[in-house]
Amino acid sequence: MRALTWHGKRDVRVDTVPDPAIKDPADVIVRITTTGLCGSDLHLYELFGPFIDEGDILGHEPMGVVQEVGPEVTAVRPGDRVVVPFNVSCGTCFMCGQGLHSQCETTQVHEYGTGASLFGYTRLYGQVPGGQAEYLRVPFGNTLPVAVPDGPPDERFVYLSDVLPTAWQAVEYAAVPPGGSVAVLGLGPIGDMAARIAAHRGAGTVIGVDLVPERLERARARGVHALDLREHGKHLVDAVRDLTGGRGPDAVIDAVGMEAHGAPVGKLAQQLTGLLPDALAAKLMENAGLDRLSALHLAIGLVRRGGTVSVSGVYGGMADPMPLLTMFDKQIQLRMGQANVHRWVGDILPLLTDADPLGVDDFATHRVPLEKAPEAYAMFQKKEDGAVKVLFKP
């Protein structure tokens, strides 16, 4: 089959690799019909080389049609249309029972002390082959794939793999009171969708912050108060307070993470790590990693006293300096973590109707053949051509 594979920093290629096969009686093989490019994939493209092997298959936002099932699979059968959550979760352990599928005890990566394995995401998360490919082996066939109806286009459902549950959890964790206010930092795929979900769930004021003109205009078109970081600069806090009665928003969602702009020390540390031999770089990242924290620090500065900061942007550092004095003084609540995909599917599926209240049908900005994936990665990283969400068609 053809699949997108990692070969080095900013070097991904579409190669011919062996087809996946049933290994466990509960496995299924899915023929991928649509698969997404995630902002988290850019961390692999740029930063996490020490934890990836050449030839690893990337991608964790797939959907498709069941091609083959193992002998113990009864929940789906060949021909069924399914979405594959990015968490590799068993659905039956204690953590899954708590709705914490990202902490699945069956697939936790004990070697690195991390949570549930993820499709297409480094040794830190199990080194499971990913879904930017023509076919994908999916374990836990009775509990992991999400069956969706035939008929509507893939764009109606593919975001159930990651974008929708990640954004939904970000809003849930933000605990925006009815009619309250929320600021979303970063209007990439997750931030854009989080703003839509917050408005749908009853937030009175939704503010978005970014510095890419196309992303700002896209948010404004859906009623978001979109603020250009370049225009407001150090006066951004004042601009947000002007929109929230002088107090600051009830909640702030950090949808940026460790690749934030305006963090020269963290950026330099990441670049230096990239120059080290893999073994040394891996040890440094595990024990002394440093993130670019400007987005998180901004979230803490923006949120009103007694408010909530919800972090959906990925951070990976182990020695990140946090403004604990400010956090304590402002009595801030902080919630974060990988999205627990299955926890939110029941809430989201009823919204994926012809009415399309979240705008999923036209959420993608680019639909490209899988063979063009390397060019799409480069475009997405550079935020060129208005790229917000890229879908691959194998």
Asked whether the beta carbons of 201 and 245 are under 8 A apart, the reply is: no
Maximum distance among all Cα pairs of the chain, rounded to whole angstroms: 62
Separation between Cα atoms, residue 176 and residue 182, nearest integer Å: 7
Separation between Cα atoms, residue 170 and residue 339, nearest integer Å: 8
- The one-letter amino acid code at 208 reads G
Residue 350 Cα distances to 142, 167, 344, 354, angstroms: 22, 16, 11, 10
pLDDT at 328: 82
pLDDT at 325: 82
Separation between Cα atoms, residue 137 and residue 283, nearest integer Å: 31
pLDDT at 233: 86
**Helix ranges restricted to H, 48-102:** 94-97
Report DSSP state, residue 306: T
Structure tokens at 257: 């993470």
Residue 58 Cα distances to 43, 89, 132, 197, angstroms: 11, 18, 6, 28
Separation between Cα atoms, residue 8 and residue 370, nearest integer Å: 19
pLDDT at 200: 98
Radius of gyration for the alpha carbons in the chain, expressed in angstroms and rounded: 20
pLDDT at 46: 80
Structure tokens at 256: 């940026």
Report DSSP state, residue 46: H
For residues 67-79, one letter each, b for 16 or more C-beta atoms within 10 angstroms of the residue's C-beta and e for the rest, the string is bbbbeebebbeee
Instruction: Sort strands 146-147 and 81-83 into parallel, antiparallel or unpaired.
Output: antiparallel
Separation between Cα atoms, residue 86 and residue 89, nearest integer Å: 9
Asked whether the beta carbons of 208 and 231 are under 8 A apart, the reply is: no
Separation between Cα atoms, residue 138 and residue 99, nearest integer Å: 20
Asked whether the beta carbons of 270 and 292 are under 8 A apart, the reply is: yes
Q: Name the strand (E) or helix (H) holding 288.
A: helix 278-288
Least Cα distance to 250 among 295, 204, 210 occurs for 204
CA atoms within 13 A on the CB side of 46: 16
Residue 81, strand partner residues = 65
3 state DSSP class of 208? strand
The structure's pTM equals: 0.91
Separation between Cα atoms, residue 292 and residue 256, nearest integer Å: 10
Q: Exposure of 376 by Cβ count < 10 A (0-12 exposed, 13-18 middle, 19+ buried)? A: buried
User: Tens-of-pLDDT digits for all 394 residues of the chain?
Assistant: 999 999 999 999 999 999 999 999 999 999 999 999 998 898 888 866 778 899 999 999 999 999 999 999 999 999 999 999 999 999 999 999 999 999 999 999 999 888 999 999 989 899 999 999 999 999 999 999 999 999 999 999 999 999 999 999 999 999 999 999 999 999 999 999 999 999 999 999 999 999 999 999 999 999 999 999 999 988 999 999 999 999 999 999 999 865 544 444 444 444 444 444 454 444 444 444 445 678 888 999 999 999 999 999 777 555 567 887 888 889 999 999 999 999 999 999 999 999 999 999 999 999 999 999 999 999 999 989 999 999 999 9
C-beta neighbour count of 238 within 10 angstroms? 10
**What string of DSSP letters covers 33-82?**
EEEEE-TTHHHHHHT-GGG--TTPBP---EEEEEEEE-TT--S--TT-EE
